[in-house]
Structure formats: structure tokens, C-alpha cells
């Protein structure tokens, strides 16, 4: 028999839960992923418990005792969440036993999740052989009926296997493949949350490849799989559109992972951080920042990498000389990406971020002719239009290049490309006035001097003035007055 040893980080919390259970006269068990992760030795970010009765009442009392917040997840099944702040875990999920403990565990999805133990440690209740499957690193379904009961379990199985580095047992893999189309029946928010956990993985590429092998990628993101076998220009692209998109995710993995934690092709990351080392801390903080719902910019960047060429199948043309082109695919891709994100119930901020990355992923290499440096005006417009999406666009553009060439990418070409992207940041941050030109005139100044009323003309003149400052054409107040006067004349002449 296996023993559940309470991780030191949650011993105090487990004791508080046990004390409350004793007062309320209920049995309480650590279950599922909590016991599984303790056996494996993985860090815990949440705690799953089951109580013998009155789960909702117990969860409310627990929230009060711990100074947390009670959230009812499922009234019918008696499941609630206690959200915590400043504790060892972010939340405690509380469920009510459905029958006996053994019967309750047998209704779960995979054997490695069908585990329970006393909250303060003790003998593991292993109803389906989950401990043995942990030992051999296998994800095995308890029954096909469990997958039928909740279609999202197929997606969760693939995600768990990727997250833990386990293999999916063959019969289970076949069952997941057979039921992959049914995942669309699950609530969009639940699908979103599982996908978000996939893209949050340090090695999201392997997880997305597994989703494709299971048929889950086609079920959830058919727009992406339309790129399968869609060929590109062979003199520049090593892969078809789908494989290129998958390898773009892999490239983002490499560029964002902690230094020294990757082996093959680590020179891609080495050259990247050699160039961007001056702002490494800021970049890592930027991509680790939560944009919405616990989802970070880094995870969303990987999703954008998968979606960045989503419009290539419908924009593909072949010229008379045999050249393959995808005119307008970035802009159209941004529209499709937004539609996909809304379908999966991502927040408005996430929709804007990902669709902007997709729509603008070609922008960095279009700022100037090959071999030339972008003008100050081009850089000003780049930052004005993209705002805080600039780092994501730069990394996505680099990942796109790495995935395009694949094994044909040389170290010299990559280093040259990375240095160009870095120069866009260095120049913009180093050249005073490109990013945030000083305010030389206000709207009140302009209205007072030229007798104008508040309105769109004043806004357009101020916008033009800021661009001229960013471009280095206006550097002081005297020149600003001359520029504004000329702009007002143009506005008046343009009026019907």
C-alpha cells in the first residue's frame, strides 16, 4: 500500500481543514490531483478535498475560517471553491462524496486521479490501480463510459499526459481519438481553460502535437488544421502550413524557456538572449504577466503562434511563374483569430492581444527594405499602433522565421535576424522622443491661438504633431507652432 505524506507547504492548511471537519462532524479526504502530485513530488498550486456531507456548508465555513472567498461551482453536484490569498495554495476545491469513497473514486476519469487519503496523511485509497500507473508513467481511463459522461475528459487526458510527461495507454488513446469530436459539446469556457493550461506549459509544442494526434486539435481549432498539406514556397519554407504553425509554437517555447533548460537547437535561444539580454528581466516579467483569468501573455503568445498563419489556406495563390503567395493572410488571420478566441470565450483583452499579434506578425520585417534601417517615423507608428503588444510581435516574428526555415536555418542567418529585431527596441528606447515625445503643445493651446472649437480637427492636428516629433521633424515649441499652422491650413482646405 502507498502512503500519502502531506507536503510540508500545506501541512498547516491541512491541519486547519481537519480541525474544521472535526468540529462539523464530517470525514474529509485529500483526493485526485492532490494525492497524485504528492506521490509524484510535484509542486501544488491548489488542493482538492472531498467531505462526507454538506460540502457547500463546509466550504462556506472553510472560507470564513481561512479568510478566503466562497464560490459555488456546482449546486447539483455540491462542489464549491474557496479562493485564498497569501496561502500555500491559490484555492481549495470542495466536493461531496457521491456514495461510498470507493464508488466515488471509480466514477472519476483516469486511474491516476482516482486516489484519496486522509487530509492529514495516511494510507492511500487506490480503487483502480492509479499508483501503479503513476509508477510506469501512464494515463489510463477508468472506463470508456467516463469519457462519454464528460467529453472534456478526453482533452484533460491529453493535457495531463503532456503536463506530466506520461504516455497515454493505447486503449485509452484509441478511446480519446474516437470521442475527440464530442469535445465540442463541452462548455466553451471549460475547453478554453484546458487549452490555456496546454499553452502555459514550458513545452507546449509537444502537447499541441499530441492534441493533433488525438484529433482534438481539429475538433477545437479546425481553422488551424485546414493548413494540413497546404504547401508553401519550397525555397523558403521547410514545412506545410500546419507543421510550420506547430513549429512556430516550438520556437516560442525555446525563446521563452529558462536559460539552460533546453538541449537541441539551444543556439536559437542563446543568440536571442545574447541580443536581448539587456532587457531580459523586463521581457520575462512582461510575458509572465497575467492578461486575464490567470492566463499570461506568454501562454497567449504561444496560442498566437499556432494561429498566426490561419488564413493561409484561403489566401493561397500560385503565380504564372509558379511562385506561391499568401497576400493579405496576416490581416485576414487577425480577423479569424479574433473569431476563434471569441468562440472559446476568451476575454475582450485576450481577443485583442492575440488577434493583434496575428495581424501584425509580418510588420517588423516590413518596416524597411532589406538591408536598411527603419526610419524614426516607421518606428513611431509601429509603437503607436501596437502598444504593449510590441514584445509579443517581435518574438512571434522571430518564431515565424525559425519555423519557416526549420533545419535549413543557419546560425549566421538567425543571429542576423535576431540582431535586427533587437535593434528595433534599442533604437526606440535609446532615441529620445520616438516612443513618447514630450508634449510641446496642448489642445487648449491650439484652440486659443487659432480660434478653434473643441472637435476632431484638434485631435487630428495633435496626433500629426506627435508623429512629427517621433519622426524627429519637430523638436521645439517654435517649430511645433509652424507645423500646427500648416496642418490647420490643410484641414481647412480638405473641408468640403
pLDDT in tens, the chain (496 residues): 799 999 999 999 999 999 999 999 999 999 999 999 999 999 888 999 999 999 999 999 999 999 999 999 877 778 999 999 989 999 999 999 988 999 999 999 999 999 999 999 999 999 999 999 999 999 999 999 999 999 999 999 999 999 999 999 999 999 999 999 999 999 999 999 999 999 999 999 999 999 999 999 999 999 999 999 999 987 788 899 999 999 999 999 999 987 765 555 588 999 999 999 999 999 999 999 999 988 999 999 999 999 999 999 999 999 888 888 999 999 999 999 999 999 999 999 999 999 999 999 999 999 987 778 899 999 999 999 999 999 999 999 999 999 999 889 999 999 999 999 999 988 887 776 788 888 889 989 999 898 888 888 889 999 988 988 888 888 889 999 989 999 988 887 776 6
Give the global pTM.
0.90
Query: Which strand (E) or helix (H) includes residue 264?
Result: none
pLDDT for the residue 237: 87
CA distance 377 to 178: 55
CB 216 within 8 A of CB 183: yes
Backbone angles phi, psi at 369, to 5 degrees: -65, 150
User: CB-based burial of residue 253 (10 Å sphere; 0-12 exposed, 13-18 middle, 19+ buried)?
Assistant: buried
Residue 143's pLDDT is what?
94
What CA–CA distances, in Å, run from 299 to 288, 294, 305, 357? 8, 10, 10, 13
Instruction: Region of 267 please: left (phi>0), alpha (psi -120 to 50) or beta.
Output: alpha
Cα–Cα distance between 321 and 319 in angstroms, integer? 5
Round to whole Å and give the CA distance between 358 and 301: 9
Q: Would you state the pLDDT for residue 233?
A: 80
pLDDT of residue 235: 76
What's the chain's length in residues?
496
Q: Measure the CA–CA gap between 146 and 132, rounded to whole angstroms.
A: 20
Own/partner pairs, 423-427, CB within 8 angstroms, 24+ separation:
423/373, 424/364, 424/367, 424/374, 424/379, 424/382, 424/394, 425/276, 425/279, 425/390, 425/394, 426/278, 427/373, 427/374, 427/379
CA separation for the pair 97, 148 (Å, rounded) = 21
pLDDT at 77: 78
From residue 23, how far is each of 18, 19, 26, 55 by CA, in Å?
9, 6, 8, 14
pLDDT, residue 369, reads: 79
Q: Give the model's pLDDT for residue 260.
A: 61
Helix locations, 25-169, DSSP H: 33-40, 55-66, 101-106, 130-135, 144-149, 152-164
Residue matched to cell numbers 485526485: 32
- Cα separation of 434 and 375, whole Å? 10
Phi, psi dihedral angles at 29 (to 5 degrees): -130, 145
Place of cell 464530517: 26
The pLDDT of residue 48 is 96
Strands 295-296, 290-292: pairing is antiparallel
- The residue among 90, 108, 91 whose CA lies nearest residue 99 is 108
Q: What is the pLDDT of residue 256?
A: 93
What pLDDT score was predicted for residue 436?
Answer: 80
Amino acid at each position: 500500500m502507498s502512503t500519502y505524506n502531506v507536503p510540508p507547504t500545506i501541512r498547516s492548511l491541512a491541519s486547519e481543514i481537519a480541525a474544521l471537519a472535526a468540529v462539523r462532524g464530517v470525514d474529509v479526504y485529500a483526493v485526485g490531483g492532490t494525492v497524485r502530485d504528492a506521490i509524484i513530488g510535484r509542486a501544488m498550486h491548489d488542493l482538492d478535498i472531498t467531505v462526507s456531507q454538506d460540502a457547500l456548508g463546509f466550504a462556506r465555513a472553510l472560507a470564513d475560517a481561512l479568510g478566503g472567498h466562497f464560490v459555488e461551482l456546482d449546486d447539483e453536484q455540491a462542489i464549491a471553491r474557496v479562493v485564498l490569498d497569501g496561502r500555500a495554495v491559490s484555492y481549495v476545491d470542495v466536493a461531496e462524496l457521491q456514495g461510498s469513497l470507493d464508488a466515488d473514486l471509480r466514477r472519476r476519469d483516469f486511474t491516476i486521479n482516482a486516489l484519496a487519503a486522509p487530509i492529514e496523511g495516511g494510507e492511500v485509497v487506490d480503487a483502480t490501480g492509479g499508483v501503479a500507473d503513476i509508477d510506469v508513467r501512464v494515463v489510463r481511463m477508468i472506463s470508456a463510459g467516463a469519457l462519454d459522461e464528460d467529453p472534456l475528459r478526453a482533452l484533460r487526458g491529453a493535457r495531463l499526459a503532456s503536463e506530466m510527461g506520461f504516455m497515454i495507454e493505447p486503449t485509452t488513446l484509441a478511446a480519446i481519438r474516437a470521442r475527440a469530436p464530442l469535445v465540442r459539446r463541452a462548455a466553451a469556457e471549460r475547453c478554453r481553460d484546458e487549452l490555456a493550461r496546454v499553452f502555459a506549459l514550458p513545452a507546449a509544442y509537444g502537447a499541441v502535437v499530441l492534441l493533433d494526434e488525438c484529433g482534438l486539435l481539429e475538433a477545437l481549432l479546425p481553422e488551424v488544421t485546414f493548413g494540413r498539406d497546404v504547401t508553401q514556397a519550397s525555397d523558403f519554407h521547410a514545412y506545410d502550413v500546419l507543421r510550420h504553425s506547430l513549429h512556430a509554437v516550438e520556437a516560442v517555447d525555446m525563446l521563452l524557456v529558462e536559460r539552460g533548460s533546453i538541449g537541441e537547437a539551444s543556439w536559437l535561444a542563446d543568440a536571442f538572449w545574447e541580443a536581448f539580454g539587456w532587457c531580459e528581466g523586463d521581457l520575462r516579467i512582461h510575458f509572465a504577466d497575467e492578461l486575464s483569468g490567470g492566463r499570461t501573455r506568454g501562454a497567449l503568445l504561444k496560442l498566437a503562434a499556432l494561429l498566426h498563419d490561419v488564413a493561409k489556406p484561403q489566401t493561397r495563390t500560385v503565380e504564372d511563374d509558379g511562385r506561391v503567395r499568401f497576400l493579405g493572410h496576416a490581416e485576414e488571420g487577425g480577423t479569424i483569430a479574433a473569431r476563434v478566441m471569441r468562440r472559446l470565450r476568451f476575454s475582450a483583452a485576450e481577443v485583442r492581444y492575440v488577434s493583434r499579434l496575428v495581424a501584425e506578425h509580418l510588420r517588423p520585417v516590413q518596416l524597411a527594405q532589406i538591408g536598411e534601417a527603419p526610419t524614426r517615423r516607421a518606428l513611431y507608428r509601429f509603437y503607436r499602433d501596437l502598444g504593449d503588444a510590441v514584445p509579443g510581435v517581435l518574438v512571434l516574428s522571430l518564431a515565424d522565421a525559425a519555423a519557416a526555415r526549420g533545419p535549413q536555418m543557419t546560425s549566421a542567418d538567425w543571429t542576423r535576424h535576431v540582431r535586427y529585431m533587437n535593434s528595433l527596441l534599442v533604437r526606440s528606447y535609446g532615441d529620445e522622443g520616438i516612443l513618447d515625445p514630450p508634449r510641446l503643445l496642448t489642445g487648449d493651446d491650439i484652440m486659443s491661438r487659432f480660434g478653434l472649437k473643441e472637435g476632431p480637427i484638434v485631435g487630428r492636428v495633435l496626433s500629426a504633431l506627435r508623429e512629427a516629433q517621433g519622426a524627429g521633424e519637430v523638436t521645439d515649441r517654435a517649430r511645433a507652432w509652424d507645423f500646427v499652422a500648416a496642418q490647420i491650413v490643410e484641414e481647412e482646405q480638405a473641408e468640403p
